Structure 1
Amino acid sequence: MADAVYIHIPFCVKKCHYCDFNSYAYQDQYISDYLKALELEMKMTVEQFPPKKIKTIYIGGGTPTVLNAMEMEYLLSSISKYFHYMDEQIEFTIEANPGTLDPEKLKIMAEYGVNRISMGVQGFQDELLSYLGRIHNQKDVYKSIEMARKFGFSNLSIDLMFGLPKQDIKMLEESLDKAIDLEIPHMSVYGLKIEENTLFHTLAEKNALPLPTEKIELQMYLLTIEKMKKNGYLHYEISNFAKPGFESMHNINYWRNGDYYGLGAGAHGYINNVRHENIRGVKQYFKAIIEDGKLPKVDEYLIPLDEKKEDTMMLGLRMLSGVKYSEYKTLFGENLLDRFNEQVDKLVALGLLVKDEEGVRLSDKGLIYGNEVFAEFISL
């Protein structure tokens, strides 16, 4: 049974130019109804799948901190009501955007046991942030981090991006340096992906998006790895870096293909070998729960054993520690190399995987060509 919870709050101040997440511009009238429906989904879910002791909770979006203080308290009280059996060492994360935090909300978050904040910073240049459609500026970043620390939040994470339009290597280096100077213990550094149904996709289709070349984007990634390691960060997943002890336990559960509850519009969950996806639209989500009295699942499917083995490899290899033979055998009762020897040997020969006495993991070259590695573990 699951010991991790993901909760989706699909509201934000405005949609960023690169974002294809299930998110909607903030509208007061929907939020109250949405939170009531979400509470009912929690109730129905735990009745059907009683939780173990909860080790991680992650509230993502959208921008969860777009909720006002009263709405935030309603959400957190609902969580504590239905997932009250929490591990003493629980990691309880809320995503935030700089500029959407205030003392009242931070006080409520601390009172309800939130102990980690993940901020979508993306960069430290105001002109770049504006071009991305972000609502914050550099000053908001410093103010939000200072405010969070005043309320006892020391476990902070920020997202940064590279490969952005109008971004050069010097700008990325400046953003990394400023984040390091702030002594942020965890950073996720992602390359931009142009997704459909975004403004950036429309511009790219018209050749009107001034993106860095692939060569420069690779240099940006390699610079990130070098700088983070030099400053005492553990590079523990393709895009994630942490000071020792500050790794994201919630995400590690994903990469280990662990069970988790997925609650809220558009959320995905995975319990007892069954994956599900919730209805994306807020109105439709509300209707399914409130009017129809049912869980808002739009898709649900049992994962066959072979697919679970493949998922374990693809997800596990995202972590630099890779997949251990002992862990694989505990999960499946067979040796990893008996099942995937052909793929592993091929990837080792290409210099993309390292095979040792403990398990298999990405090589330095494999970090760059991760998608080619993962594709080898997909059955056609």
Structure 2
Amino acid sequence: MKAAYIHIPFCEHICFYCDFNKVFLKGQPVDEYIEALLREMKIQLEITPVKELETIFVGGGTPTVLDENQLDRLCNGIRSILPFQNGEFTFEANPGDLSDEKLSILHEYGVNRLSFGVQSFNNELLKKIGRTHTSDDVFETLNKARNAGFENISIDLMYALPGQTENDFRSTLKTALDLDLPHYSSYSLIVEPKTIFYNLMRKGKLHLPSEDVEARMYDILMTEMEKHGLHQYEISNFAKPGYESKHNLVYWDNEEYFGFGAGAHSYVEQVRKSNFGPVKKYIHHLDKEELPIFEQHKLTKQEMMEEEMFLGLRKNNGVSLSLFKEKYEENVLNVFGDAISEMVERKLLEIVDNRIKLTKEGRFLGNEVFQSFLLL
């Protein structure tokens, strides 16, 4: 066990595209939630003791909407309960949310990586997608973070947004790259059920770029990142050498991790679990000193092998044939021979240096490739 994910489900505003487990902050039992969260950590660690975690990732929601006292309580509890020394400790944040005092608290407790949801530097487009910050908020917050001693900073960008043009995306990319950060993530918009955008789409009121325009934006993204010395190590992630997200690599390497918090998912001892999402129901279970498990499923060997492929192929260095054999005592070419042959023939996959990996063409059709490894 290398990693722990911690979920803070509170937001001051709900973005139009977001389908993560979240609630409006106002009127929520935030202090009680933090205590329940720390209780869950203690109970889980008693059941599944681990010597040391290498990464902690606090996401949401918006973790930085917590006030200074709540943030201090959370960080203090994490440090007291989880076996974590000097690994990668990430907090997600929104531009404009981080006061100097909050940054000081995070730094004091050893948080050493910040991930900001920037999405775009076009202020009109930010309004269209339900974001409340402006591009000036981004510059101001990044300056504060750097002055507080944070060097390992990542920002998220989105493309294929409603009304977005290729030139607009180029402009956002230029502004982002001029910041000279060590890590960038960039995703195309996916319209998920139970979001404001989904409701607009059903009414015919959501006007998105075509698939061809989306593909050209992705090509622009890969080209510009490479020009600026940022290595694409996963379909949507780019980093300077040594700044890859160690926490996210745990997911893509199909390794196990704890998930704490309302709606959080975990993968422990070959069992995938999800917690209850409603905050009060989550707290209720922990008030009774029991884990708030909503559902769980023990993976079969077949399911584990499938996940090894469709998670591992997200990485640019792909899946190691020898590591697959070591983990599952099976030859990947025997298990998935037909799918691999078809994808190699279509030039979407290649086998190089004992690894199966996506070609550049394959990155554009990643989901189609991944689905081919689901054995029916």
Which category describes the TM-score, using the shorter chain as reference length?
A: over 0.9
Tell me: CA distance 1:87–1:328, structure 2 relative to 1, closer, same or farther (3 Å). Answer: farther
| Structure 1, unaligned runs of 5 or more | none
> Distance between the aligned counterparts of 1:259 and 1:87, measured in 2?
19
One-letter amino acid of the counterpart of residue 307, structure 1: E
C-alpha distance in 1, partners of 2:174/2:50? 41
1:198 to 192, 195, 199: 195
SS at match of 1:354: strand
Q: Which string of whole-angstrom CA distances, capped at 9 and with x for unpartnered residues, describes residues 90-130 of structure 1?
A: 01000000010011111110111100000000000111111
- 1:303-314 maps to which residues of 2 (within 5 A)? 303-314=299-310
1:377 and 2:369 are equivalent in the alignment: no
Amino acid at match of 1:181: D
Query: Contact between 1:129 and 1:137, CA under 8 Å: does it hold in 2?
Result: yes
Letter in 2 for 1:269: S
Deviations, residues 328-347 of structure 1 (Å, cap 9, x unaligned): 12212232222222221111
Deviation (angstroms), 1:280:
0.3
* Corresponding residue for residue 355 of structure 1: 351
Match of 2:115 among 112, 115, 118: 118
**Shift in Å at residue 28 of structure 1?**
5.1
- How many residues are treated as equivalent by the alignment? 376
Query: Which amino acid in the other structure matches residue 14 of structure 2?
Result: K
What does residue range 289-300 of structure 1 map to in structure 2 within 5 Å? 289-290=286-287, 292-300=288-296
Distance across 1 between alignment mates of 2:372 and 2:239: 29
Q: TM-score w.r.t. structure 2 length? A: 0.98
Q: Does 1:270 align with 2:267?
A: yes
- Residue 10 of structure 1 pairs with residue 9 of structure 2: yes
1:91-110, aligned counterparts within 5 Å? Answer: 91-110=88-107
Q: Shift in Å at residue 87 of structure 1?
A: 4.5
- The residue type paired with residue 126 of structure 2 is L
Partners of 2:316 and 2:249 in 1: CA distance: 11
CA contact (8 A) 1:321 1:361 kept: yes
Which residue in 2 is equivalent to 1:320? 316
Structure 1 match to 2:363 = 367
TM-score (norm 1): 0.97
Whether the aligned pair in 2 keeps the contact of 1:169 and 1:220 (CA below 8 Å) is yes
Q: Corresponding residue for 1:339?
A: 335
CA positional deviation for 1:27: 2.4
Which residue identity is paired with 2:56?
A: I
Q: Give the Cα–Cα distance (whole angstroms) in 2 for the partners of residues 5 and 132 of structure 1.
A: 30
1:213 aligns with 2:210: yes
Q: Distance in 1 between the 2:55 and 2:93 partners?
A: 17
State the match for 2:84 in structure 1. Answer: 86
Tell me how far apart the structure 2 counterparts of residues 177 and 155 of structure 1 sit (CA, whole Å). Answer: 20
CA contact (8 A) 1:9 1:264 kept: yes
Distance 1:209 1:192 in 2: 12
The answer to whether the 8 A contact 1:3-1:52 is kept is no
Q: Structure 2: 5+ residue runs without aligned partners?
A: none
The 3-state SS of whatever aligns with 2:336 is: helix
Cα-Cα RMSD: 1.0
> Does the alignment pair 1:60 with 2:56?
no
What is the distance in 1 between the residues matched to 2:310 and 2:51? 26
| Map of 1:169 onto structure 2 | 166
Helix, strand or coil for the counterpart of 2:29? helix
Percent of residue pairs identical: 44
**1:135-150 equivalent positions in 2, closer than 5 A:** 135-150=132-147
SS in 1 for 2:150: coil
Task: Give the residue type in structure 2 aligned to 1:51.
Answer: V
